[in-house]
């Protein structure tokens, strides 16, 4: 699996947030939600103005893939403001972009930050999951956030990262019972 480092993740998050073109905005949403390309690409204005603090992702892969993703009010407001700078499509779609359009913008950002060429836009999904795991978010929550059909998929894909946290969690448990 291909992941960005935390430094690269944070650099890209800041970089993407400074721009308002649709390709960069889509990359930003992929980075902060862990969504699949097809899910974000199918978003409509209704998905963005779903509920306060939530983005609706129209699932494409499994029944669980249709989901709500929590985001901060400031992030949601930024996305709404950025999307408002573009003409609204008659069909209500936010994006409808090609993989090529996204990859072109992503490759320019990778060059700017000297990011490994093997990293793809799909790597943003894995990096998002890795990032929230590193912040101590529960696997059950992450599984639902990613739209996995069940938690065993999340465990299978991200077990190596969870193993890294066992030592830290063991210390926390020892402190609970000292």
What is the tens place of the pLDDT at every residue in 143-163?
899 988 888 888 887 776 666
**Residue 23 or residue 166, greater confidence:** 23
Between strands 54-57 and 67-70, the pairing is antiparallel
pLDDT of res. 130: 85
How many Cβ atoms sit within 10 Å of the Cβ of residue 90? 6
Q: Give the C-alpha separation, 65 to 88, whole Å.
A: 26
Range in 31-35, 48-52, 143-147, 164-168 with the lowest mean pLDDT: 164-168
Is residue 56 predicted with pLDDT exceeding 80? yes
pTM, rounded to two decimals: 0.87
Span 13-26, average pLDDT? 95
Q: Structural domain boundaries of the chain?
A: 6-176
| 6-176: in CATH 1.10.443.10 | yes
What average pLDDT does the chain have? 88
**C-alpha triplet 158, 13, 138: angle, nearest 5°:** 30
């Amino acid at each position: 699996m291909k992941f960005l480092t935390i430094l690269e993740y944070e650099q890209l998050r800041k970089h993407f947030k400074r721009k308002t073109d649709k390709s960069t905005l889509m990359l930003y949403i992929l980075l902060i939600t862990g969504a699949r390309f097809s899910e974000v690409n199918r978003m409509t204005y209704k998905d963005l103005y779903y509920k306060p603090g939530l983005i609706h992702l129209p699932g494409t892969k499994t029944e669980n893939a249709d989901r709500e993703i929590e985001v901060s009010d400031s992030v949601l407001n930024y996305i709404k403001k950025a999307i408002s700078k573009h003409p609204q499509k008659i069909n209500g779609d936010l994006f409808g972009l090609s993989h090529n359009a996204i990859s072109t913008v992503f490759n320019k950002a990778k060059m700017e930050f000297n990011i490994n060429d093997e990293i793809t836009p799909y790597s943003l999904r894995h990096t998002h999951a890795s990032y929230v795991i590193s912040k101590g978010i529960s696997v059950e929550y992450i599984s639902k956030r990613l739209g996995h059909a069940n938690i065993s998929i999340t465990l299978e894909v991200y077990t190596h990262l969870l193993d890294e946290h066992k030592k830290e969690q063991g210390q926390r448990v020892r402190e609970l019972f000292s």
